Amino acid sequence: MKNAMVLCSGGLDSVVVAYSIKNKYRKLKLLFFDYGQRALKEEEKCVREISKKLNSDFEKIKLPWLGKISTAMLNREGEFRETTEKDLGKKEDLLTWWVPCRNSIFLINALAFAESEFLKNKERYDIIIGLKNEGEAHFKDTTERFIKKINNLVKDATNDGDYEIIAPLIKLDKPEVIKLGEKLKIPFELTYSCYIENGHCGKCLNCMLRKKGFYWAGVKDPTKYST
């Protein structure tokens, strides 16, 4: 039975995917990335709590340089254009939240950790990421095509190449992810989605997706939003 490293930000998708695979692997390790994001403290607190509940290892990976070069409002102070319900499904403001090569960088770092575990301990790890179906308005690094392409790198990027990057939720949309989370009895109150504030601002892209996801799923939203 193999082990799994789960990329976990504390958000709905990454927490749901961690719970969804917990019984399929012998050992879990949650990887949390610090790249100077504005919501760092809230995200890390959530991931540490989820790690305890899953009885998994926690690994914090620091990437300060990524935050320094990022132009995304995740890494920059200041005003941003609020996302409204009418904006959902449009591509216009995605660049506001785009961190350069973020998922690629996270996955290559995770792959290095996975290979290290095999080289040191002969323990094999799959790498799990909570990407879902984003519909027409999506970041380029959140698709099945992206996962396939980056898996093609694995055999040449590692010594033996026997590692797999898996996105179990990739065919599900946000309401379906939330319904799965309800079925798995996810502690939704411990998850954190906001890009901006200490608490959910209710007006950034991720907060709006969270709000509408619960609404469309018909699941009670325990989140307290500022607006």
Higher pLDDT residue, 139 or 49?
A: 49
What are the Cα distances from residue 168, in Å, to 6, 39, 82, 208? 11, 26, 31, 23
How much is the pTM? Answer: 0.94
Q: 46-50, 133-137, 207-211: lowest mean pLDDT where?
A: 133-137
Say how far apart CA 62 and CA 38 lie, in whole Å: 14
**Predicted pLDDT at 119:** 95
Q: How many residues does the chain have?
A: 227
52-66, 79-93, 105-119, 167-181: which has the minimum mean pLDDT?
79-93
- All domains of the chain in start order, with CATH: 3-217 (3.40.50.620)
Query: 42 and 198 in contact (C-beta within 8 Å)?
Result: yes
Spatial CB neighbours of 205, under 8 Å, sequence gap ≥ 6: 83, 87, 93, 94, 96, 97, 195
* Mean pLDDT, range 186-206, rounded to an integer: 93
Residue 138 Rama label (left phi>0; alpha psi -120 to 50; beta): beta
pLDDT at 199: 92
Question: Is the pLDDT at 137 greater than 70, yes or no?
Answer: no
The mean pLDDT of 66-89, rounded to a whole number, is: 84
79 vs 56: CA distance, rounded Å: 37
The C-alpha atoms of residue 59 and residue 116 are separated, in whole angstroms, by: 14
Cα(220)–Cα(188) distance, rounded to whole angstroms?
A: 10
| Lookup: tokens for 168 | 């179990």
Asked if residue 80 lies in contact with residue 208, where contact means CB atoms within 8 angstroms, the answer is no
